[in-house]
Every structure is written in C-alpha cells, then in structure tokens.
Amino acid sequence: MDAQTAADVDGAWKYALEHYMPACLQLFFPQVAAGVDWDQPLIFCDKELEQINPEANTGKLRVDKLIRVA
C-alpha cells in the first residue's frame, strides 16, 4: 500500500470514529463499550494530541484520534 492509499484509508477510519464511535467500539471492543456511559458526550481531544507532535499533522497524514468518554 502506498502512502496516498494509506492516508485515504486513515481518513476513512477517522471519519467512522467521529460519526459512529459507539458502533465502532461495540464492534471492536464490546467489553470496553459496555463500560462507557453513552449518555455523556464524547469529547474529541485531537488538538491536544496534535500538540504533542505537530509534525504528524502534515498533508493528508493526520494525528490519531483521542476521544474522552465517561
């Protein structure tokens, strides 16, 4: 897989996490999902994560997702 394809796949996963986090967590980590209070808002902490390594946010490559749950 070349860098362009990897970046596009990365973006698709991040979109899925942003829009379908409960379903993604239930699918991949059902025991973790069971412990989350889904009545509380999800807090996306991408900016905080980006501050750790600003060079990681270049071009189509972006920092990973950091999501705070209750």
Strand partners, 11: none
Q: Is the pLDDT of residue 60 over 80?
A: no
**Residue 50: predicted pLDDT:** 74
Give every CB contact of residue 42 below 8 A, 6+ residues apart in sequence: 21, 67, 68, 69
- List of E strands, 1-70: 43-44, 67-68
- Residues 8-46 have pLDDT tens digits of 677 888 888 889 999 999 999 999 999 999 999 999 888
Distance, CA of 67 to CA of 28 (rounded, Å): 15
Domain range summary for the chain, segments of one domain joined by +: 9-68
pLDDT classification of 62: cutoffs 50, 70, 90: low
